[in-house]
Structure 1
Amino acid sequence: MTRKIAIVGSGYMGGGIAQVMALAGAEVLISDVSLEVTQANRERLIEETRKFVADGLFPSDAVERIERQVKVAESIEDAVRDADFIEEAVPEKIDIKHEIFKRVSAAARPDAIIATNTSTISIAKLSEAVTNPERFLGVHFSNPSPFVPGVEIIPHEGTDPAVVERACAIVHETGKETATVKDVTGFVLNRLQYALFHEATQLLEEGVASPEDIDTLVRTTFGFRLPFFGPFAIADMAGLDVYNFCYQSLQTDFPERFATPEVLSSLIEQGKLGTKSGGGFTDVPAERIPDLIAWRNRAYVKLSELMKELGPPPMK
């Protein structure tokens, strides 16, 4: 049975989500502040799709599929009336979103999942405007949504666990990966992203390095590992005792900023030092470590080859 998806807000993010859902086979209705704006955004999506096909980024039949699968609704109400899943992607202003959710709730089926693409606003706060808020959650795509593979799933305390499961299944049908996190300020994605950015600006303001040199170090050292491993897997492979020593060194000048995390100290006290001890954050079995290291090395060489093939980004 073909899924029926409504996207409320057909700009850059909403439009990209519409492309993703359509290429996964869903029937997609898009809506915006007016019919004229929605129609114009659909035309933009089709032109973007042509370019993506020409660049080899979308399947060769993507234009035909998106023309067939993505349709314009005359109003928000028309878009959501028969939808199984509704994704809101309007500007990040709570009063605008509340107004939209009231309209959506009044017109949608009572069993339709209602989701928001917010990256900053409390899901619980947004749910106040939703009728039957147990079917509401955050489904946070990243920019550019057609090409970034991860989606952050954020239920609020009242979200029905079955709704979380259904939302994840819909996202998985698009080929993307999901991570379910709690409804806290910044969620996970932005807390990590802005923590890195904050420290980078500290280094810049202290005159330690230029923006260009900071960016170079991030993308060619620890950032080089991040397509394959998250921070906990990287720490386990480096050795948690090594991390503990580095924290102690950092504390000579920044005692509060780089206080040793309690969870790190606890693991070390238990003798869990990462992959070298067979236990840590990720608990990789000892017999898997040679395969892991071999896979890691192949992955890094392949990424180096890809970067050479692509050449530097056209920023200058």
Structure 2
Amino acid sequence: MSETLPNLEKIACLGAGRMGRGIAVVFAYAGHEVAVCDLKARPEADFQRLADEVHAEIKDTLQILASLGLFDGTHIPAIIKRVRVVADADKAAALADSDVVFEGIPEVLEMKRELFAKVSPLVPPQTIIASTTSTILVDDLSGSVEHPERFLNAHWLNPAFLVPLVELSPGAKTLPAITKKLSDLLERIGKVPVTCAARPGYIVPRIQTLAMNEAARMVEEGVATAADIDKALKYGFGFRFSVLGVLEFIDWGGGDILYYASRYLVNALDNDRYAAPPIIEQNMKDGRTGLRAARGFLDYEGMDIDAYRKERLGGFAQRLKALGLARPPAP
């Protein structure tokens, strides 16, 4: 592996915290030069301690990944060499030389707006700027960005260096070409980008917030112990959805099953939070009930259904093996 691969985008991270360090690992691993920009004016000695801390954490992370068999640890020095920590006073030069800038400061709206107003004029107009916010909508920030057509949200899931997904949320002024350019870059470094509308919660946080609150509620209600609820989620809920998407799973079982199950839970638990959205009933009326009808949330028209089922069952079998739960038959 060469220390620096040619013609790769230069990345800058605004903030030297957890997110900036995680993103630095991802891009440096893929061969990109990364500037992690400190945003606080510090005495030289304090800055050097920060820079040493950043490099030490990146080294520790890479050593863990190597120990897990993800790559040959002899590449670690070359990867680390691609990451430089930049003092606040020197960030203008680093930003002027960047192709993509990721903001990763705390989730405080005014703090982010102030930062974008200050740094976006330092960034070339063609450079993509992305916030990694998990809570603030893109257009609540874009007004502070010079040339907002190159700005969007890119929500990474922690740990950024392991979780493949990145949720992209373009704003009203974001050029489609910018979203595609960032999506293509993320795919090239091994990530799985998805694009979603500017709505609170993106995709994963919105769904996982419901799941986490419901799990906590079941502990509160004495449905099961915390350990058994987590076991059920790991070996049932998580097992299924590591292979099938949630909407794909609705199709797999049939949208009608979800419709009737939802009605039962609403009545049995006397709570409308279990009610199915109107799209479920509409799909039933339209005959989009899932796999059996060859159309549901997804379209299965012309697909070899038997081959598709076998492929998905193969995914379940691999998960079973990975969990150490695949056993030979009794003699």
What secondary structure does 2:243 align onto?
coil
Structure 2 letter corresponding to 1:263: I
Which one of the candidate residues 285, 308, 323 is aligned to 1:269? 285
CA drift of 1:83 comes to: 0.3
What secondary structure does 2:58 align onto?
helix
Q: Give, in whole Å, the separation in 1 of the partners of 2:64 and 2:282.
A: 52
Which one of the candidate residues 87, 103, 109 is aligned to 2:124? 109
Which one of the candidate residues 195, 204, 213 is aligned to 1:189? 204
Q: Which residue of 1 aligns with 2:83?
A: 70
* Closer/same/farther in 2, CA of residues 278 and 215 from structure 1, 3 Å limit: same
CA drift of 1:263 comes to: 0.7
Which one of the candidate residues 21, 27, 39 is aligned to 1:21? 27
**Aligned Cα RMSD in Å?**
1.7
Structure 1 letter corresponding to 2:8: T
Which one of the candidate residues 44, 55, 66 is aligned to 1:42? 55
Which one of the candidate residues 206, 214, 223 is aligned to 1:208? 223
1:179 and 2:194 aligned? yes
Q: Give, in whole Å, the separation in 1 of the partners of 2:217 and 2:60.
A: 41
Normalising by structure 2, we get a TM-score of 0.88
Q: Which residue of 2 aligns with 1:289?
A: 305
Q: Give, in whole Å, the separation in 1 of the partners of 2:80 and 2:271.
A: 58
CA drift of 1:7 comes to: 0.9
For structure 2, the residue ranges without an aligned partner over 5 or more in a row are 1-6, 326-331
CA drift of 1:271 comes to: 2.0
CA drift of 1:43 comes to: 2.7
Which one of the candidate residues 298, 308, 322 is aligned to 1:306? 322
Structure 1 letter corresponding to 2:32: A
CA drift of 1:52 comes to: 2.3
Identity %: 31
Q: Give, in whole Å, the separation in 2 of the partners of 1:190 and 1:287.
A: 32
Equivalenced residue count is 309
* Closer/same/farther in 2, CA of residues 265 and 293 from structure 1, 3 Å limit: same
What secondary structure does 1:52 align onto?
helix
1:132 and 2:147 aligned? yes
Q: Give, in whole Å, the separation in 2 of the partners of 1:102 and 1:41.
A: 26
CA drift of 1:143 comes to: 0.5
Q: Which residue of 1 aligns with 2:95?
A: 80
Q: Give, in whole Å, the separation in 2 of the partners of 1:110 and 1:271.
A: 49
What secondary structure does 1:179 align onto?
strand
Note if contact 2:58-2:80 (Cα within 8 Å) is conserved in structure 1. no
Q: Which residue of 2 aligns with 1:163?
A: 178
Structure 2 letter corresponding to 1:126: L
1:97 and 2:103 aligned? no
Q: Give, in whole Å, the separation in 2 of the partners of 1:201 and 1:275.
A: 33
Note if contact 1:77-1:103 (Cα within 8 Å) is conserved in structure 2. no
What secondary structure does 2:298 align onto?
coil
CA drift of 1:297 comes to: 1.4
Normalising by structure 1, we get a TM-score of 0.92
Q: Which residue of 2 aligns with 1:312?
A: none
1:31 and 2:44 aligned? no
What secondary structure does 1:283 align onto?
coil
CA drift of 1:79 comes to: 2.7
What secondary structure does 2:36 align onto?
strand
1:215-226 maps to which residues of 2 (within 5 A)?
Answer: 215-226=230-241
CA drift of 1:287 comes to: 4.1
For structure 1, the residue ranges without an aligned partner over 5 or more in a row are 310-316
Q: Give, in whole Å, the separation in 1 of the partners of 2:303 and 2:66.
A: 44
Q: Give, in whole Å, the separation in 2 of the partners of 1:113 and 1:161.
A: 12
CA drift of 1:208 comes to: 1.3
Q: Give, in whole Å, the separation in 2 of the partners of 1:239 and 1:264.
A: 10
Higher deviation after alignment, 40-49 or 115-124: 40-49
Q: Give, in whole Å, the separation in 2 of the partners of 1:54 and 1:203.
A: 38
* Closer/same/farther in 2, CA of residues 138 and 59 from structure 1, 3 Å limit: farther
Higher deviation after alignment, 281-290 or 270-279: 281-290
Output one character per residue of 1:157-188: Cα deviation in whole Å (capped at 9) or x when no partner.
11111111111111111111111001111122
CA drift of 1:152 comes to: 0.3
Q: Which residue of 2 aligns with 1:314?
A: none
